[in-house]
Structure 1
Amino acid sequence: MNGEPIWVVGATRSGKTAFLVSQFRAWAQSGARSFGDLTRDSGRTLELRQSTPTQGAAAALPRPLMQPADASMPGVLVLTAIGDNRIDLLDRLTAATQSKVPLHSTTPLGFFQEEVMLFWSLLIQQLDLKAQFPIRLSPENEQALAAQLWQADLDRTIGQQAGTTEVRLVRRLLDLLQLAALAGIPLADIPVMLEQGLAGQGDQLPLPDADVGELLQRWQRWCLEGGLLTYGIIAELYWQYLLPNPTYQRHLAQRYQIVLADDVDEYPAIARTLFDVLLDAGATGLFTYNPDGAVRLGLGADPAYLAGLADRCRIETLSARSVPALGNDLGDAIVALVTDPIFFASLPESIQAIQTTSRAQLLRRTAEVIVDAVQTKQLQPRDIAVIAPGVDAIARYSLTEILTKHQIPVESLNDQRPLTSSPIIRALLTLLTLVYPGLGRLVDRDAVAEMLVVLSQQSAVSGQQSAVSSQRSAVSSQQAEPTQHSTLETQNSPLSFILHPSSFSIDPVRAGLLADYCFVPHPDRPRLLPATTFPRWDRLGYQASNAYQAIVQWIEAQQGQLEQRLIPNAVSLLDRAIQHFLFGGGSLPFEQLSALRQLIEAAQHYWEVDGRLRRSQRFDAPAYMTVSRFIQLLQSGTVTANPYPVRPIGPNSNAVLLANVFQYRSSRRAHRWQFWMDAGSPRWLSGVDSLFGAPLFLQGWSGRAWTAADMMDANERRLRRILLDLLGRTEERVYLCHSDLATNGQEQTGVLLSLVNAALPLDTVSLTAAL
């Protein structure tokens, strides 16, 4: 496979991925030896309109009826920036070739991890490691274990530097390790780079540069001795030890003769080293590149360095977008208007402004426009995206509440919130504290009351749907006396989530009464007493009393099995609780089901790592200590990794998308209408979506100190990429949603205010929805 590789360059939605699929399909059908044999500068035979065959007959065939992959075909490595894009591209390539070509699809970081795991024996020999299969640490486990290892140094630093938090300091240290590894920079060079790049800015990392290097090296040694791997350590092992290994290079060349890499502007620097090795070994490839992409710049990507790969390829430039988009005609004009606000211009009708005084009015007004558009059949919910530099809890709740009230689903894209923000997760963690001993300090009455409500699904209690019991519940609800837990109905309570009273056997008021009178706090054995302990237990009603008693009996049964060692670990207990109280999760909304999947995946990983540490360090602490650490980890607000991507089906697939700018651009989606929330916010220019010290780890870094002027220049170039990318992903209309005052009452004078002033104000007369 000595063919000439192809470098495809083009703007957002210019057809780069379609070109890749079309080229690969033509190669698979023709049996050509390389992509270079398929097209030349003169006489291109491929048509981009044929490059999306997902609606054709091949896509409609069931997978078993397709022809099996030919084992004699060369191996094909397919790379995409993130997992969601990987699934989409793999589906298109599989349909284009009717599954006749074996494909290995992954992301760059996923590929590095797979290779390190697969060739771990080579690394054992080269680094003289203990012969044990490695385990990859999740980010939340990485943070917790690193903090334990560095505890003494962290305490000393925090004591000397006011305002420094342990979580932030640990995260920055680990980010430095990952950035250096993805950039192909030795760990020993980090102190020198920090000294040069952060000169005079020591308050950003209040540790001597030498101590930073020593802490990171200690962490790396500890992980390798225990067979624990992080993304940073995996990347360093790959580029520094595995990729230069001649044995590995020989196996790599035998396995992959073709490389398909989409959006290489999102790849780390060491990915180019991988491509160079493959091309040197005789492989061919096709690489797509967006000069205005670079979404992951600051998170390890080095688009300028990857662009140098074009020197080894034949360049194909896609100048025009393959689909209609506002960016075709307005992109450069809008960027000019933002960067030169002195120049005044009026924008066309496709750019409109929604202006209010307060942000609360803005959220409501935006929801009204969406409801009106959907109800008047102008477009479907899936054609609408609400994009903001940062989606806070107030905006997410307000928009979701108003839209769902009008039967318009809302999809919150990769919602990065702590697991404990979900009432179901908090209820399950509270359940653990009541089953395992020694966890009484992690639970209180409010948490117990919330647990009783969440776990009292009516269908979990048999025979509770009669009209008589419903009438008793209604009467007793009116007679229930107010208690100190009457505040449970306020928005500041843990129970301030959307409840449908008919769906739960125990309402918040009864749950508060039960927690007041039947919950016995204890540091070792907190208990739930029988409902009759409440002097006026008759006011609870038959339905609530039965549901409460079922929960108490289940907890007592699990305690008995725990004493008999019939519960392997807390993961098994969580699974039992989900099956018993939540019916396996099958009837839950997609967001709640996703939260349960996150919890189970995080718990499984935590206990896997705990088992490895117990064996390697030879300690046998009680099981409840592990449960306690896990609960405290989640209660601290740690954001766990998203579960394996699953696409919504049914009504949820036709939903309004709610995302921040980074998430939206990463997802590569496009919509007919876009709503740019908080258009006057300064975060459009200065929003933080990069790791600490990221500019210092780019291959093009000058070696001088990173100054405020450099930061401003980087922010302006980032804003230009954002505007061009978003406009390239909208087909018909953009609404600039601006409120004069932010949530905190301050006036908003962000960089996009010139756009708001130049846009046409929304015509309020056309609205028909009255919310």
Structure 2
Amino acid sequence: MIQLTTFQEEFANLPLNQKIYAEGKFGCGKTTAAIARLNRILENVALGSEILTFIPNRTLAKPYQEAFSSRGVKPQIQTYNGFIQRSLQIFWPIISEKAGFAFPEKPPCFLTIETAQILMARLIESKLEQGYFSALRVPSSRIYNQIMISMHKAAAAEFPFQDYAERMKKSWTGEKSLLQIFDQTQECGEIFKKICYQNNLLDYSIQVEVFQQYLLPLKRYQKWLESSYHHFIYDNVEEDIPAAHHFARVLLKNCQSALIIADHLGGFRSFLGGDPSSAAELKTLCDRQIVFEKTLICSDSIQSMAMCVENPFIAQKDLPGDPKTAYTFHPYHQYPAMIKQAAADVADLIHRQNVLPSDIVIIAPLVSDVLYTSMERELRIQNIPCFIYRPSRPLIGENASKSILTVIALIHPEWGIHPRLLDIVQMLQTIIPNLDPIRGHVLVARAFKEIFNDVQEAVDYEIKAFSEIPSDSRKRIPTSIGLLFDTFRQWILSNKGIEETPDISLSRFFHTVLTKNGFAAGNEGAEELNLGIKKVIESLKKFRVILEHVDQDLLSWKDYFRLVNEGMIAAQYYEDWFLQPENSVLISLASAYAVMNRPVSYQIWLNAGSPRWWERIYGQLTNDIVLSRSWQDGDQWDIQKEYEANNDSMIRQILALLSRCRKQVRVYASELSESGQDQKSRLLYLFADLSYRFGKNKDFMEGIANKLTQEISSDAFYPGIDDKDMNIAGKNEEEILGDESNQFLLEEDGR
């Protein structure tokens, strides 16, 4: 049982008829105190359904799922999207006709981000052929996703999508020739919405709009809310959208008690519509505002480092500890040398200092396949397993799910997805663990022959039995592997062109083939494959629901597999969050780790020289600041606003990472990127400044600062910024504040 601090106990014991707004940095005990208060509420209510607990993402539900009373009463835990889906299903007969759906007597069908992208791709295929979005040099799958996100953000900020193009064009300061893409985006979005209303399909944006415009204003619905929910808890409110905050305002007026919890350093889901400023407005509707100030996680040195980042002019005597011991900085010229040394230092922590692997996280601004492969190899040499977390990665981008999709492609050549021989080798290695790459290539080269299937009218493979391949090749492959291959071959041939849906075929493949001795599902370490199969089956099931709901002429399985192979952005799967083995080191994106709410003792920051630490997630069609409620009509998204947003984002992200670190941050930088290109980052300036002020590697870091100033021209680093102004070493605060040429820099650094 968790031991509460005195402050947390006092918080939990506040009267149960109060509405409280609790805020503070991560690690100050807000959620722990909220759960203690929730347990107290559970002991005083008859039904757990009277308590509504809101979270922005279902992966954050675990702490609340463990809360229950002595009588077994548990709260209702929901995301905003999950709650409005349930509400729309219950009240659908009342609002469907008024909302404008073509078949109000039929039930609604909810689209996921995957099924919505597939439908969008099918509907605007002719538009792309006409040259729409030709000015954008991005894959078509990214265009579908950005159109969907633009509709989501408009609904989240509660402004009509019909205003999207005008809003974006007014803010645009780039090439005039690109203005047409905003009109094209709006046109494609309106085509999508029209078809959805004709078929009772609701994607995320339509769900939010229908709920906010037609259901929430109903007095009947508000009475139902008032009678159903008497206690309301809303954690990580800053990561949710303004539409969710609007709904929270309605609940706050009707509930007996409420608890709103905000993280000062949050806002990492702004690219999905999250709005901390909108969340802060809920403070005025609460009876009490309580600030959690004392961290329960960070050491004094980490706190001191965070204070120095937040306030560059703080005196050392005002710090609780020595910031020099909070971090180490390791610069390298070559990218591979940086990876190798970082892995060696992780091994030293685990093998010599007895740090648990799960108490270490490796963080990078961008976790590419190159970074993961090289880091995984170096850690494997040190006998250290690792686990990578990359949310919403395309199904075709993960080895396990790609292999399973290859199996489906082999039994359904009529769907037009013809796998390469290399993909088949990879698939066989995945399902037959003892098959090495060399023998896998030999087996596939001799057993698979490309043909034209007259029955399916598509390019296909003729697959020979193991006994039919040339004897010289057969001798190189163990008989046990050959028998497993024949089992796989027989299943493929017996299911070629089968009429059942692919999710059912995959379920049978798992139970009749993969669970047999010698195949991957029955071996140790099969978690990744099993999760990959589960994700693919879940994705296929959700698409099957849509196919059963619409006309056959609108969508088909061919559309699904075409878009998956194009790299469609996948949905987020709950299991990814908790799959990490206990004895493994986590590798994650900086922003993804920040929302995991999982503190560790040691953080390894890779590739500190990458500009990705400073650059925000940005899509040409989905500028999250322009599409937010705080954007003023008539403002323009110029270079200064982008600089301000990038700098604020980097500082907030660094502070958020530090708040999740107990002991030390180890920073690694390489002068060259993974592709061999020279790279520089604002993050290097920050560490150069810290080291200069506190005398840590003073000569070396001063050399880096001078080199950055000399080598990075204003055009190369950031247009419009004179890098000479950044050389403020040796000046005191009064001199800097009195120098007008530095005012812009000071504002950006928050000084």
Interval of TM-score (by shorter of Structure 1 and Structure 2): 0.7 to 0.9
Cα shift at 1:338: 11
Instruction: For structure 2, list consecutive stretches of 5 or more residues without a partner in the other structure.
Output: 1-14, 315-321, 699-751
> Which aligned pairs between 1:48-87 and structure 2 lie closer than 5 A?
70-71=46-47, 75-87=50-62
Residue 384 of structure 2 corresponds to residue 408 of structure 1: yes
> Which aligned pairs between 1:282-431 and structure 2 lie closer than 5 A?
282-313=255-286, 314-325=288-299, 326-337=301-312, 347-431=323-407
> Which aligned pairs between 1:584-595 and structure 2 lie closer than 5 A?
585=521, 587=523, 588-595=525-532
* Corresponding position of 2:738: none
TM-score, normalised with respect to structure 2? 0.80
Matched-pair contact (CA < 8 Å) for 1:266–1:297: yes
Residue 463 of structure 2 corresponds to residue 528 of structure 1: yes
* Corresponding position of 2:475: 539
* Corresponding position of 2:598: 669
* Corresponding position of 2:587: 658
Helix, strand or coil: the match of 1:293? coil
> Which aligned pairs between 1:199-598 and structure 2 lie closer than 5 A?
206-207=180-181, 209=183, 211-313=184-286, 314-325=288-299, 326-337=301-312, 347-438=323-414, 442-456=418-432, 503-504=434-435, 508-509=438-439, 511-516=441-446, 518-523=448-453, 524=458, 525-536=460-471, 538-540=474-476, 542-559=479-496, 568-583=500-515, 585=521, 587=523, 588-598=525-535
Helix, strand or coil: the match of 1:116? helix
| Distance (whole Å) between structure 2 residues aligned to residue 167 and residue 647 of structure 1 | 25
Q: Which stretch has the larger CA shift, 319-328 or 106-115? A: 319-328
* Corresponding position of 1:467: none
* Corresponding position of 1:115: 87
Matched-pair contact (CA < 8 Å) for 2:297–2:659: no
Helix, strand or coil: the match of 2:475? helix
Matched-pair contact (CA < 8 Å) for 2:363–2:587: yes
Rate the CA distance shift 1:107–1:748 in 2: closer, same or farther, 3 A.
same
* Corresponding position of 2:677: 746
Cα shift at 1:386: 0.9
* Corresponding position of 2:12: none
**Structure 1, residues 452-505: CA drift from partner, whole Å, max 9, x if none?**
444445xxxxxxxxxxxxxxxxxxxxxxxxxxxxxxxxxxxxxxxxxxxxx23x
* Corresponding position of 2:99: 127
Cα shift at 1:683: 1.4
Identity across aligned pairs (percent)? 21
**Structure 1, residues 255-274: CA drift from partner, whole Å, max 9, x if none?**
11111001111111112211
Helix, strand or coil: the match of 2:46? coil
Cα shift at 1:226: 1.3
Cα shift at 1:306: 1.6
Helix, strand or coil: the match of 2:265? coil
* Corresponding position of 1:41: none
Rate the CA distance shift 1:208–1:676 in 2: closer, same or farther, 3 A.
closer
Q: Which stretch has the larger CA shift, 240-249 or 402-411? A: 402-411
Helix, strand or coil: the match of 2:622? coil
Matched-pair contact (CA < 8 Å) for 1:598–1:642: no
Cα shift at 1:80: 1.4
User: What is the one-letter code of the residue matched to 2:64?
Assistant: L
Cα shift at 1:369: 0.5
| Distance (whole Å) between structure 2 residues aligned to residue 350 and residue 2 of structure 1 | 41
| Distance (whole Å) between structure 2 residues aligned to residue 203 and residue 175 of structure 1 | 23
Cα shift at 1:610: 1.8
Cα shift at 1:756: 4.1
User: What is the one-letter code of the residue matched to 2:355?
Assistant: L
**Structure 1, residues 89-127: CA drift from partner, whole Å, max 9, x if none?**
332x33xx3465441101222222222233222222322
| Distance (whole Å) between structure 1 residues aligned to residue 268 and residue 647 of structure 2 | 14
Instruction: For structure 1, list consecutive stretches of 5 or more residues without a partner in the other structure.
Output: 32-68, 340-345, 458-502, 763-771
Structure 1 consecutive aligned stretches of length 4 or more whose deviation exceeds 6 Å: none
* Corresponding position of 1:146: 120
| Distance (whole Å) between structure 2 residues aligned to residue 689 and residue 197 of structure 1 | 15
* Corresponding position of 2:662: 731
* Corresponding position of 2:22: 8
Alpha carbon RMSD of aligned pairs, Å?
3.1
Cα shift at 1:750: 0.9
**Structure 1, residues 416-461: CA drift from partner, whole Å, max 9, x if none?**
433223444344333333333535761343334444444445xxxx
| Distance (whole Å) between structure 1 residues aligned to residue 136 and residue 574 of structure 2 | 40
User: What is the one-letter code of the residue matched to 1:90?
Assistant: Q
| Distance (whole Å) between structure 2 residues aligned to residue 528 and residue 224 of structure 1 | 46
**Structure 1, residues 496-546: CA drift from partner, whole Å, max 9, x if none?**
xxxxxxx23x76335435434552422535321334543436535533443
* Corresponding position of 1:706: 637
Residue 44 of structure 2 corresponds to residue 25 of structure 1: no
Cα shift at 1:647: 6.5
Q: Which stretch has the larger CA shift, 185-194 or 593-602? A: 185-194
Matched-pair contact (CA < 8 Å) for 1:445–1:519: no
| Distance (whole Å) between structure 2 residues aligned to residue 708 and residue 222 of structure 1 | 38
Cα shift at 1:667: 0.6
> Which aligned pairs between 1:173-188 and structure 2 lie closer than 5 A?
173-188=147-162
